[in-house]
Amino acid sequence: MEQRFIVIDEKITPDIYLKVLEAKDILLKGEVKGVTEAVKKVGISRSAYYKYHQYLFRLSDLEGVKKATVNFLLGHRAGILAEIINCISEAGGSILTINQNIPIDDVASLSITFDINNLNKEVDEIIEVLNNLDEVVRVELVSMGY
C-alpha cells in the first residue's frame, strides 16, 4: 500500500498524538532511558505509544523535503513583500520563486516557494511569524516537496 501523508494543525490534533510526539522527543534527546520511562513521563500507555509512534512526525522530520510553497493574501502596503522575504531569509530559507498578482480591492495574492534545507526554525514557526506581519491577511502552507 502506498504511503500518503497529510498535514494537520496541532490545534485540532487529538492529545494522544501530541503526547506520542512528546515521548518521541524526550527519547531522542536522551532525557529518559527507554520507552517505559518516556510514556510514564508524558502520561500515556506503552500500547498507545507503539500504536502511533511510526505514523506521527513533525514537519521538520520529513527527510528529503527540499522546498515549501506558501500562499498569501496581502494588504496593499509598500514594503510588505520585502518583510516577507527578509523573514524567510532570516530563518535560513532561500527563495526559489515569487509569483505576485496585482492588488484588487487593496488585497494582493502572493505565492512563494523557498528551499527549506538550511532552516534554523520550523516551517510552522516561520508561517506564524509571517501571519503576524502587518497587512498579511492570510498565510497558507500549500505544499512541501522535493
Instruction: Read off the pLDDT of residues 6-25 as tens digits, 9 standing for 90 and up.
Output: 778 888 999 999 999 999 88
pLDDT at position 6, please?
Answer: 77
What's the pLDDT band for 47 if we cut at 50, 70, 90?
A: very high
Q: What's the whole-number mean pLDDT along residues 49-63?
A: 79
Residues of the chain with CATH 3.30.70.260: 67-145
Of 2, 4, 20, 96, which is closest to residue 57 (Cα–Cα)?
A: 20
Query: Under CATH, which architecture does the 67-145 domain have?
Result: 2-Layer Sandwich (3.30)
The pTM assigned to this predicted structure is: 0.61
Given CA atoms 8, 129, 109, 138 in this order, what sign does their dihedral have? Answer: positive
More confident position, 6 or 94: 94
Q: In 14-120, which ranges are continuous DSSP H helix?
A: 15-28, 35-42, 46-52, 80-90
